[in-house]
Structure 1
Amino acid sequence: MRKALALSLLALFLGGCASNPADRDISGTWINQVAIDAASKGVPLREALQTYGPNLEWDVNTKAGQARYTNGFENVEGKLLGEESGAWKVDFYGSSSSELKRDGKQLSQSATENEAAQVFDRALIPVPEGAPIGASFERALYSAYMGGSWKILSGPGEGNTVQFQADGQVTGLPDSDRYALCLAGDCASMSGGNDNMWLQFNGQGSPWIFTRKGKELEIFQAVNRAQADEMPSFMPGERKWLLEKQ
Protein backbone atom coordinates (compact mmCIF):
# COMPACT_ATOMS: atom_id res chain seq x y z
CA MET A 1 0.00 0.00 0.00
CA ARG A 2 2.77 2.39 0.95
CA LYS A 3 4.67 1.47 -2.23
CA ALA A 4 1.62 2.18 -4.37
CA LEU A 5 1.09 5.51 -2.62
CA ALA A 6 4.74 6.43 -3.14
CA LEU A 7 4.50 5.63 -6.85
CA SER A 8 1.33 7.70 -7.14
CA LEU A 9 2.99 10.66 -5.47
CA LEU A 10 6.04 10.30 -7.72
CA ALA A 11 3.84 10.23 -10.82
CA LEU A 12 2.01 13.31 -9.59
CA PHE A 13 5.30 15.10 -8.94
CA LEU A 14 6.73 14.22 -12.36
CA GLY A 15 3.49 15.19 -14.03
CA GLY A 16 3.62 18.55 -12.30
CA CYS A 17 7.18 19.09 -13.50
CA ALA A 18 6.27 18.21 -17.07
CA SER A 19 3.47 20.75 -17.08
CA ASN A 20 5.38 23.48 -15.30
CA PRO A 21 3.64 26.74 -16.28
CA ALA A 22 7.05 28.40 -16.68
CA ASP A 23 7.79 26.00 -19.55
CA ARG A 24 4.70 27.25 -21.40
CA ASP A 25 4.91 30.94 -20.53
CA ILE A 26 5.36 33.01 -23.67
CA SER A 27 5.70 36.41 -22.03
CA GLY A 28 8.59 38.57 -23.14
CA THR A 29 10.30 39.65 -26.35
CA TRP A 30 11.01 37.13 -29.09
CA ILE A 31 13.05 37.80 -32.25
CA ASN A 32 13.48 36.13 -35.63
CA GLN A 33 16.93 34.72 -34.95
CA VAL A 34 16.69 32.34 -37.92
CA ALA A 35 16.67 35.27 -40.37
CA ILE A 36 19.58 36.90 -38.55
CA ASP A 37 21.61 33.68 -38.67
CA ALA A 38 20.91 33.20 -42.38
CA ALA A 39 22.03 36.74 -43.24
CA SER A 40 25.13 36.39 -41.07
CA LYS A 41 26.08 33.22 -42.93
CA GLY A 42 25.96 34.92 -46.32
CA VAL A 43 22.36 34.99 -47.52
CA PRO A 44 21.52 38.49 -48.85
CA LEU A 45 19.68 40.40 -46.15
CA ARG A 46 16.49 41.01 -48.15
CA GLU A 47 16.36 37.34 -49.13
CA ALA A 48 16.86 36.18 -45.55
CA LEU A 49 14.06 38.44 -44.28
CA GLN A 50 11.67 37.34 -47.02
CA THR A 51 12.49 33.64 -46.66
CA TYR A 52 12.23 33.42 -42.88
CA GLY A 53 9.88 36.35 -42.25
CA PRO A 54 7.82 38.34 -42.61
CA ASN A 55 7.58 38.95 -38.86
CA LEU A 56 10.72 40.11 -37.08
CA GLU A 57 9.71 40.42 -33.44
CA TRP A 58 6.93 39.51 -31.01
CA ASP A 59 6.30 41.19 -27.68
CA VAL A 60 3.93 39.25 -25.42
CA ASN A 61 2.41 40.09 -22.05
CA THR A 62 0.26 37.20 -20.86
CA LYS A 63 -0.80 38.92 -17.64
CA ALA A 64 -2.18 41.90 -19.54
CA GLY A 65 -3.58 39.68 -22.30
CA GLN A 66 -1.67 41.59 -24.96
CA ALA A 67 0.56 40.57 -27.87
CA ARG A 68 2.06 42.62 -30.65
CA TYR A 69 4.47 42.07 -33.51
CA THR A 70 6.37 44.02 -36.12
CA ASN A 71 7.39 43.05 -39.63
CA GLY A 72 9.67 46.04 -40.00
CA PHE A 73 7.01 48.01 -41.83
CA GLU A 74 3.99 47.97 -39.54
CA ASN A 75 3.42 47.33 -35.85
CA VAL A 76 0.35 45.25 -35.11
CA GLU A 77 -1.31 44.88 -31.70
CA GLY A 78 -3.67 42.09 -30.71
CA LYS A 79 -5.55 40.58 -27.81
CA LEU A 80 -4.05 37.45 -26.29
CA LEU A 81 -6.74 34.91 -25.56
CA GLY A 82 -6.46 32.11 -23.03
CA GLU A 83 -4.11 29.17 -23.42
CA GLU A 84 -5.57 25.94 -24.77
CA SER A 85 -3.52 22.73 -25.06
CA GLY A 86 -0.30 24.74 -24.86
CA ALA A 87 -1.29 27.18 -27.63
CA TRP A 88 -2.17 30.84 -27.31
CA LYS A 89 -4.43 32.54 -29.81
CA VAL A 90 -3.87 36.20 -30.67
CA ASP A 91 -6.92 37.99 -32.00
CA PHE A 92 -6.30 41.14 -34.02
CA TYR A 93 -9.69 42.62 -33.20
CA GLY A 94 -11.67 40.49 -35.60
CA SER A 95 -9.57 41.07 -38.71
CA SER A 96 -7.27 38.05 -38.34
CA SER A 97 -5.60 35.85 -35.76
CA SER A 98 -2.34 34.04 -35.03
CA GLU A 99 -1.47 31.07 -32.85
CA LEU A 100 1.64 31.05 -30.68
CA LYS A 101 3.12 28.10 -28.85
CA ARG A 102 6.17 27.65 -26.65
CA ASP A 103 8.46 24.89 -27.90
CA GLY A 104 11.29 24.64 -25.41
CA LYS A 105 13.40 27.76 -25.83
CA GLN A 106 11.58 28.90 -28.96
CA LEU A 107 8.26 30.50 -29.73
CA SER A 108 6.43 29.01 -32.70
CA GLN A 109 3.96 30.95 -34.81
CA SER A 110 1.61 28.64 -36.66
CA ALA A 111 1.09 28.98 -40.40
CA THR A 112 -1.97 30.83 -41.71
CA GLU A 113 -3.44 31.41 -45.14
CA ASN A 114 -1.28 34.51 -45.50
CA GLU A 115 1.91 33.59 -43.63
CA ALA A 116 4.18 30.59 -43.32
CA ALA A 117 5.07 29.11 -39.93
CA GLN A 118 7.87 30.95 -38.12
CA VAL A 119 10.03 30.42 -35.06
CA PHE A 120 11.42 33.04 -32.67
CA ASP A 121 14.07 33.07 -29.94
CA ARG A 122 14.15 35.12 -26.78
CA ALA A 123 15.86 38.49 -27.21
CA LEU A 124 19.16 38.56 -25.33
CA ILE A 125 20.58 42.00 -26.13
CA PRO A 126 19.08 44.66 -23.82
CA VAL A 127 17.45 47.76 -25.29
CA PRO A 128 16.74 51.10 -23.60
CA GLU A 129 13.55 51.32 -21.57
CA GLY A 130 10.71 52.53 -23.74
CA ALA A 131 12.40 51.47 -26.99
CA PRO A 132 9.90 50.77 -29.80
CA ILE A 133 9.02 47.23 -30.77
CA GLY A 134 11.56 45.93 -33.26
CA ALA A 135 14.50 47.45 -31.41
CA SER A 136 15.53 44.07 -30.00
CA PHE A 137 15.59 42.45 -33.44
CA GLU A 138 17.42 45.40 -34.92
CA ARG A 139 20.14 45.38 -32.26
CA ALA A 140 20.61 41.63 -32.54
CA LEU A 141 20.86 41.90 -36.34
CA TYR A 142 23.28 44.82 -36.25
CA SER A 143 25.47 43.04 -33.71
CA ALA A 144 25.63 39.76 -35.64
CA TYR A 145 25.59 41.08 -39.20
CA MET A 146 27.55 44.32 -38.94
CA GLY A 147 29.43 43.87 -35.66
CA GLY A 148 33.20 43.71 -35.26
CA SER A 149 35.89 45.77 -36.95
CA TRP A 150 36.03 46.50 -40.66
CA LYS A 151 38.95 47.95 -42.61
CA ILE A 152 38.43 50.27 -45.57
CA LEU A 153 40.34 48.67 -48.47
CA SER A 154 39.35 51.32 -50.99
CA GLY A 155 37.41 54.58 -50.95
CA PRO A 156 37.50 57.68 -48.75
CA GLY A 157 39.27 56.96 -45.47
CA GLU A 158 41.22 54.04 -46.95
CA GLY A 159 42.96 52.18 -44.14
CA ASN A 160 40.49 53.34 -41.48
CA THR A 161 38.96 50.89 -39.04
CA VAL A 162 35.17 51.10 -39.17
CA GLN A 163 32.82 49.89 -36.47
CA PHE A 164 29.07 49.58 -36.88
CA GLN A 165 27.52 49.58 -33.42
CA ALA A 166 24.38 47.69 -32.39
CA ASP A 167 22.65 50.99 -31.51
CA GLY A 168 23.09 52.40 -35.03
CA GLN A 169 26.22 54.45 -34.47
CA VAL A 170 29.13 54.10 -36.89
CA THR A 171 32.72 55.25 -36.45
CA GLY A 172 35.59 55.40 -38.91
CA LEU A 173 33.45 55.82 -42.02
CA PRO A 174 34.00 59.33 -43.42
CA ASP A 175 31.04 61.72 -43.18
CA SER A 176 28.91 59.14 -41.33
CA ASP A 177 27.95 58.89 -37.68
CA ARG A 178 24.71 56.85 -37.94
CA TYR A 179 23.49 53.99 -40.08
CA ALA A 180 20.34 51.91 -40.50
CA LEU A 181 19.76 48.75 -42.52
CA CYS A 182 16.62 48.63 -44.62
CA LEU A 183 14.37 45.84 -43.32
CA ALA A 184 11.02 46.45 -45.03
CA GLY A 185 8.66 49.11 -46.31
CA ASP A 186 9.32 51.89 -48.81
CA CYS A 187 13.09 51.62 -48.59
CA ALA A 188 12.82 47.98 -49.69
CA SER A 189 10.29 48.55 -52.46
CA MET A 190 12.38 51.39 -53.90
CA SER A 191 15.65 49.45 -54.03
CA GLY A 192 14.85 46.99 -56.79
CA GLY A 193 15.58 43.98 -54.60
CA ASN A 194 18.99 45.28 -53.60
CA ASP A 195 20.11 45.48 -49.99
CA ASN A 196 20.37 49.07 -48.89
CA MET A 197 21.24 51.15 -45.87
CA TRP A 198 20.85 54.70 -44.67
CA LEU A 199 23.99 56.65 -43.78
CA GLN A 200 23.82 60.04 -42.14
CA PHE A 201 26.05 62.68 -40.57
CA ASN A 202 24.87 65.42 -38.23
CA GLY A 203 21.26 64.52 -38.91
CA GLN A 204 21.52 64.61 -42.72
CA GLY A 205 21.64 61.41 -44.71
CA SER A 206 20.86 59.44 -47.86
CA PRO A 207 20.32 55.83 -49.03
CA TRP A 208 23.15 53.59 -50.22
CA ILE A 209 23.11 50.19 -51.91
CA PHE A 210 25.34 47.50 -50.44
CA THR A 211 26.36 43.92 -51.05
CA ARG A 212 28.04 41.61 -48.60
CA LYS A 213 30.00 38.57 -49.70
CA GLY A 214 31.82 36.72 -46.96
CA LYS A 215 34.05 39.20 -45.18
CA GLU A 216 33.72 41.86 -47.87
CA LEU A 217 31.22 44.70 -47.77
CA GLU A 218 30.76 46.93 -50.82
CA ILE A 219 28.81 50.18 -50.51
CA PHE A 220 27.55 51.83 -53.71
CA GLN A 221 25.96 55.16 -54.43
CA ALA A 222 22.20 54.80 -54.83
CA VAL A 223 21.21 56.20 -58.23
CA ASN A 224 17.55 57.11 -58.71
CA ARG A 225 16.41 55.90 -62.14
CA ALA A 226 12.81 57.10 -61.74
CA GLN A 227 11.26 60.19 -63.28
CA ALA A 228 10.53 63.21 -61.11
CA ASP A 229 6.83 62.32 -60.81
CA GLU A 230 7.46 58.63 -60.07
CA MET A 231 8.31 56.74 -56.91
CA PRO A 232 12.11 56.65 -56.51
CA SER A 233 13.79 53.54 -57.89
CA PHE A 234 17.35 53.16 -56.64
CA MET A 235 19.98 51.10 -58.41
CA PRO A 236 23.68 50.67 -57.54
CA GLY A 237 25.91 53.31 -59.04
CA GLU A 238 29.62 53.89 -58.51
CA ARG A 239 31.20 51.94 -55.68
CA LYS A 240 32.18 54.27 -52.85
CA TRP A 241 33.73 51.86 -50.37
CA LEU A 242 35.11 48.35 -50.14
CA LEU A 243 35.45 47.12 -46.56
CA GLU A 244 36.84 43.88 -45.19
CA LYS A 245 35.95 42.40 -41.84
CA GLN A 246 38.97 41.86 -39.63
Structure 2
Amino acid sequence: MRHALPLTLAALLLGGCASHKPEDFNGTWINQAAIDAASKGTSLRQALDAKGPVFEWKIDVKNQQASFSNGFEAADGRLSANEKDWQVNFEGDLTEQLKLNGDELVTIDPSGHQQTFMRSKAPEGAALGGSFEKALYQQYLGGDWKIVEGQGKGGLVRFSDTGNVTGLPGPDRFALCLAGDCATMGDGNDSLWLERNQRGAPWIFKRDGDTLEIFQAVNRAQPDEMPQLTAGARQWVLEKD
Protein backbone atom coordinates (compact mmCIF):
# COMPACT_ATOMS: atom_id res chain seq x y z
CA MET A 1 0.00 0.00 0.00
CA ARG A 2 2.95 2.32 0.59
CA HIS A 3 3.51 2.50 -3.20
CA ALA A 4 -0.13 2.89 -4.21
CA LEU A 5 -0.30 6.67 -3.82
CA PRO A 6 2.88 7.50 -5.83
CA LEU A 7 1.79 5.15 -8.60
CA THR A 8 -1.64 6.74 -8.71
CA LEU A 9 -0.16 10.22 -8.89
CA ALA A 10 2.19 9.13 -11.66
CA ALA A 11 -0.73 7.74 -13.63
CA LEU A 12 -2.66 10.96 -13.22
CA LEU A 13 0.35 12.99 -14.31
CA LEU A 14 0.97 10.87 -17.38
CA GLY A 15 -2.67 10.82 -18.33
CA GLY A 16 -3.29 14.50 -17.67
CA CYS A 17 -0.31 16.08 -19.37
CA ALA A 18 -2.19 16.31 -22.67
CA SER A 19 -5.63 15.73 -24.10
CA HIS A 20 -4.36 12.55 -25.75
CA LYS A 21 -3.98 9.20 -24.04
CA PRO A 22 -0.38 8.19 -23.32
CA GLU A 23 -0.61 5.25 -25.70
CA ASP A 24 -1.44 7.66 -28.55
CA PHE A 25 2.27 8.54 -28.60
CA ASN A 26 3.35 4.94 -29.14
CA GLY A 27 4.82 3.73 -32.42
CA THR A 28 7.03 4.89 -35.25
CA TRP A 29 6.78 8.44 -36.57
CA ILE A 30 8.42 9.60 -39.80
CA ASN A 31 9.32 13.01 -41.22
CA GLN A 32 6.75 13.06 -44.01
CA ALA A 33 7.45 16.74 -44.70
CA ALA A 34 11.00 15.88 -45.80
CA ILE A 35 9.71 13.09 -48.05
CA ASP A 36 7.09 15.36 -49.62
CA ALA A 37 9.67 18.09 -50.23
CA ALA A 38 12.03 15.62 -51.92
CA SER A 39 9.24 14.08 -53.97
CA LYS A 40 8.66 17.36 -55.78
CA GLY A 41 11.57 16.19 -57.92
CA THR A 42 14.35 18.54 -56.92
CA SER A 43 17.47 18.20 -54.78
CA LEU A 44 17.23 15.50 -52.13
CA ARG A 45 20.03 17.13 -50.12
CA GLN A 46 18.22 20.47 -49.99
CA ALA A 47 14.93 18.87 -48.99
CA LEU A 48 16.49 16.87 -46.16
CA ASP A 49 18.52 19.83 -44.90
CA ALA A 50 15.47 22.11 -44.95
CA LYS A 51 13.13 19.67 -43.19
CA GLY A 52 15.64 17.90 -40.92
CA PRO A 53 17.61 17.12 -38.96
CA VAL A 54 15.58 14.24 -37.47
CA PHE A 55 13.82 11.81 -39.82
CA GLU A 56 12.24 9.23 -37.51
CA TRP A 57 11.11 8.68 -33.92
CA LYS A 58 10.21 5.47 -32.11
CA ILE A 59 8.24 5.90 -28.89
CA ASP A 60 7.46 3.25 -26.27
CA VAL A 61 5.41 4.81 -23.47
CA LYS A 62 5.16 1.64 -21.38
CA ASN A 63 8.93 1.30 -21.13
CA GLN A 64 9.51 5.08 -21.03
CA GLN A 65 11.78 4.96 -24.06
CA ALA A 66 12.08 7.27 -27.07
CA SER A 67 14.66 7.09 -29.85
CA PHE A 68 15.32 9.12 -32.96
CA SER A 69 17.37 8.77 -36.15
CA ASN A 70 18.83 11.53 -38.31
CA GLY A 71 19.67 9.17 -41.17
CA PHE A 72 23.19 8.57 -39.89
CA GLU A 73 23.14 8.40 -36.10
CA ALA A 74 20.60 7.22 -33.55
CA ALA A 75 19.95 8.45 -30.02
CA ASP A 76 18.08 6.71 -27.20
CA GLY A 77 16.39 8.74 -24.50
CA ARG A 78 14.27 8.41 -21.39
CA LEU A 79 10.63 9.45 -21.80
CA SER A 80 8.81 11.24 -19.00
CA ALA A 81 5.82 13.52 -18.50
CA ASN A 82 6.10 17.13 -17.46
CA GLU A 83 3.49 19.78 -16.71
CA LYS A 84 2.67 20.39 -20.36
CA ASP A 85 3.37 17.40 -22.59
CA TRP A 86 6.25 14.92 -22.72
CA GLN A 87 9.97 15.24 -22.43
CA VAL A 88 12.80 13.01 -23.65
CA ASN A 89 16.10 13.22 -21.81
CA PHE A 90 19.31 12.19 -23.56
CA GLU A 91 22.89 11.90 -22.39
CA GLY A 92 24.63 15.22 -22.06
CA ASP A 93 21.56 16.94 -20.57
CA LEU A 94 19.94 17.20 -24.00
CA THR A 95 16.14 17.28 -24.09
CA GLU A 96 13.29 17.24 -26.58
CA GLN A 97 9.66 18.18 -25.92
CA LEU A 98 6.97 16.04 -27.54
CA LYS A 99 3.31 16.79 -28.10
CA LEU A 100 0.49 15.71 -30.38
CA ASN A 101 -1.28 18.10 -32.71
CA GLY A 102 -4.13 16.17 -34.26
CA ASP A 103 -2.53 13.27 -36.13
CA GLU A 104 0.95 14.80 -36.00
CA LEU A 105 3.74 14.39 -33.51
CA VAL A 106 5.46 17.71 -32.85
CA THR A 107 8.98 17.85 -31.40
CA ILE A 108 10.64 20.94 -29.96
CA ASP A 109 14.34 21.17 -29.14
CA PRO A 110 15.83 23.54 -26.54
CA SER A 111 16.40 26.22 -29.21
CA GLY A 112 12.69 26.20 -30.06
CA HIS A 113 13.13 24.46 -33.42
CA GLN A 114 10.02 22.41 -34.25
CA GLN A 115 9.55 19.38 -36.49
CA THR A 116 6.41 17.45 -37.34
CA PHE A 117 6.09 13.70 -37.87
CA MET A 118 3.36 11.43 -39.18
CA ARG A 119 2.69 7.93 -37.93
CA SER A 120 4.37 5.35 -40.16
CA LYS A 121 2.14 3.05 -42.19
CA ALA A 122 4.83 0.36 -42.34
CA PRO A 123 4.51 -2.70 -40.08
CA GLU A 124 6.24 -2.40 -36.74
CA GLY A 125 9.56 -4.14 -36.28
CA ALA A 126 11.79 -2.26 -38.71
CA ALA A 127 15.13 -1.00 -37.46
CA LEU A 128 15.21 2.61 -36.31
CA GLY A 129 15.32 4.82 -39.41
CA GLY A 130 14.15 2.02 -41.69
CA SER A 131 10.53 3.15 -41.92
CA PHE A 132 11.53 6.64 -43.07
CA GLU A 133 13.95 5.21 -45.61
CA LYS A 134 11.32 2.82 -46.97
CA ALA A 135 8.73 5.59 -47.37
CA LEU A 136 11.31 7.89 -48.98
CA TYR A 137 12.34 5.25 -51.50
CA GLN A 138 8.70 4.61 -52.39
CA GLN A 139 7.87 8.24 -53.05
CA TYR A 140 11.16 9.55 -54.38
CA LEU A 141 12.22 6.69 -56.64
CA GLY A 142 9.14 4.51 -56.94
CA GLY A 143 7.68 3.48 -60.30
CA ASP A 144 9.28 2.69 -63.64
CA TRP A 145 12.25 4.63 -64.99
CA LYS A 146 13.28 4.31 -68.62
CA ILE A 147 16.95 4.49 -69.60
CA VAL A 148 17.09 7.17 -72.32
CA GLU A 149 20.88 7.54 -72.33
CA GLY A 150 23.69 5.16 -71.37
CA GLN A 151 24.22 1.42 -71.22
CA GLY A 152 20.93 -0.46 -71.39
CA LYS A 153 19.17 2.31 -73.30
CA GLY A 154 15.47 1.56 -73.70
CA GLY A 155 15.26 -0.67 -70.63
CA LEU A 156 13.18 -0.10 -67.53
CA VAL A 157 14.71 0.46 -64.12
CA ARG A 158 12.91 -0.10 -60.83
CA PHE A 159 14.15 0.98 -57.42
CA SER A 160 12.46 -0.97 -54.63
CA ASP A 161 11.76 0.32 -51.15
CA THR A 162 14.01 -2.45 -49.78
CA GLY A 163 17.11 -1.21 -51.59
CA ASN A 164 17.02 -3.51 -54.61
CA VAL A 165 17.41 -2.11 -58.12
CA THR A 166 16.58 -3.98 -61.32
CA GLY A 167 17.17 -3.04 -64.95
CA LEU A 168 20.25 -0.91 -64.31
CA PRO A 169 23.21 -2.68 -65.98
CA GLY A 170 25.58 -3.90 -63.28
CA PRO A 171 24.32 -3.03 -59.79
CA ASP A 172 21.48 -4.80 -58.02
CA ARG A 173 21.48 -2.82 -54.74
CA PHE A 174 21.32 0.90 -53.98
CA ALA A 175 21.16 3.30 -51.05
CA LEU A 176 20.51 7.03 -51.04
CA CYS A 177 22.83 9.19 -48.98
CA LEU A 178 20.72 10.83 -46.27
CA ALA A 179 23.24 12.31 -43.84
CA GLY A 180 26.59 11.86 -42.20
CA ASP A 181 29.94 11.23 -43.86
CA CYS A 182 28.50 10.49 -47.28
CA ALA A 183 26.69 13.84 -47.27
CA THR A 184 29.84 15.66 -46.18
CA MET A 185 31.89 13.95 -48.88
CA GLY A 186 29.25 14.80 -51.47
CA ASP A 187 30.12 18.49 -51.13
CA GLY A 188 26.48 19.54 -51.49
CA ASN A 189 25.72 17.06 -54.29
CA ASP A 190 23.13 14.30 -54.07
CA SER A 191 24.78 10.89 -53.97
CA LEU A 192 23.84 7.24 -53.87
CA TRP A 193 25.65 3.96 -53.42
CA LEU A 194 25.39 1.29 -56.12
CA GLU A 195 26.70 -2.22 -55.59
CA ARG A 196 26.63 -5.83 -56.73
CA ASN A 197 27.79 -8.81 -54.69
CA GLN A 198 28.64 -6.42 -51.82
CA ARG A 199 31.09 -4.48 -53.95
CA GLY A 200 30.15 -0.96 -54.96
CA ALA A 201 30.97 2.72 -55.16
CA PRO A 202 29.38 6.12 -54.67
CA TRP A 203 27.73 7.96 -57.58
CA ILE A 204 26.48 11.51 -57.96
CA PHE A 205 22.92 12.06 -59.17
CA LYS A 206 20.77 15.01 -60.15
CA ARG A 207 16.98 14.93 -60.11
CA ASP A 208 14.94 17.41 -62.13
CA GLY A 209 11.28 16.47 -62.11
CA ASP A 210 10.90 13.19 -63.98
CA THR A 211 14.52 13.12 -65.13
CA LEU A 212 17.25 11.42 -63.12
CA GLU A 213 20.90 11.78 -64.19
CA ILE A 214 23.58 9.52 -62.68
CA PHE A 215 27.24 10.56 -62.87
CA GLN A 216 30.52 8.93 -61.97
CA ALA A 217 31.84 10.37 -58.71
CA VAL A 218 35.23 12.10 -59.01
CA ASN A 219 37.27 12.73 -55.86
CA ARG A 220 38.84 16.19 -55.88
CA ALA A 221 40.57 15.83 -52.49
CA GLN A 222 44.21 15.03 -51.84
CA PRO A 223 45.08 11.49 -50.65
CA ASP A 224 45.42 12.65 -47.02
CA GLU A 225 42.15 14.62 -47.04
CA MET A 226 38.51 13.60 -46.64
CA PRO A 227 37.10 12.74 -50.08
CA GLN A 228 35.23 15.52 -51.84
CA LEU A 229 33.08 14.03 -54.59
CA THR A 230 31.88 15.90 -57.62
CA ALA A 231 30.08 14.85 -60.79
CA GLY A 232 32.26 13.32 -63.49
CA ALA A 233 31.17 11.65 -66.72
CA ARG A 234 27.42 11.11 -67.04
CA GLN A 235 26.66 7.39 -66.99
CA TRP A 236 22.87 7.24 -67.31
CA VAL A 237 19.85 9.42 -67.92
CA LEU A 238 16.57 7.97 -66.65
CA GLU A 239 13.09 9.32 -67.24
CA LYS A 240 9.94 8.42 -65.32
CA ASP A 241 7.97 6.14 -67.62
**Shared fold (TM-score, shorter chain, > 0.5):** yes
Taking structure 2 as the reference length, the TM-score comes to 0.89
- Tell me the equivalent position of 1:7: none
Alignment of structure 1 residues 187-206 onto 2, 5 Å = 187-206=182-201
Task: Give 1:20 deviation, angstroms.
Answer: 5.4
Given the superposition, is the C-alpha separation of residues 233 and 216 from structure 1 closer, same or farther in structure 2, using an over 3 Å criterion?
same
Task: Give 1:19 deviation, angstroms.
Answer: 4.1
- Tell me the equivalent position of 2:118: 121
Counterpart secondary structure, 1:125: coil
Alignment of structure 1 residues 1-246 onto 2, 5 Å = 19=19, 21=21, 25-82=24-81, 84-85=83-84, 87-113=85-111, 116-126=113-123, 129=125, 131-246=126-241
Distance 2:20 2:69 in 1: 29
Which is higher, the Rg of structure 1 or of structure 2? 1
Task: Give 1:93 deviation, angstroms.
Answer: 3.5
Out of 235-244 and 35-44, give the one that drifted further.
35-44
Paired residue total:
225
Task: Give 1:50 deviation, angstroms.
Answer: 0.7
Given the superposition, is the C-alpha separation of residues 97 and 207 from structure 1 closer, same or farther in structure 2, using an over 3 Å criterion?
same
Taking structure 1 as the reference length, the TM-score comes to 0.87
Counterpart secondary structure, 2:25: coil
Q: Which runs of 4+ in 1 moved over 4 A?
A: none
Task: Give 1:95 deviation, angstroms.
Answer: 2.1
Task: Give 1:228 deviation, angstroms.
Answer: 1.1
Task: Give 1:173 deviation, angstroms.
Answer: 0.3
Equivalent AA in structure 2 for residue 104 of structure 1 = G
Indicate the percent of aligned positions where both proteins have the same amino acid.
53
Distance 1:169 1:45 in 2: 19
Task: Give 1:94 deviation, angstroms.
Answer: 4.7
Given the superposition, is the C-alpha separation of residues 156 and 126 from structure 1 closer, same or farther in structure 2, using an over 3 Å criterion?
farther
Would you say the 8 A contact 1:79–1:93 is kept in 2?
Answer: no
Task: Give 1:47 deviation, angstroms.
Answer: 0.7
Out of 195-204 and 87-96, give the one that drifted further.
87-96
Distance 1:136 1:206 in 2: 24
Counterpart secondary structure, 1:60: strand
Counterpart secondary structure, 1:139: helix
Equivalent AA in structure 1 for residue 78 of structure 2 = K
Given the superposition, is the C-alpha separation of residues 30 and 53 from structure 1 closer, same or farther in structure 2, using an over 3 Å criterion?
same
Measured on the aligned residues, the alpha-carbon RMSD in Å equals 1.7
The gaps in structure 1 that reach 5 residues or longer are 1-17
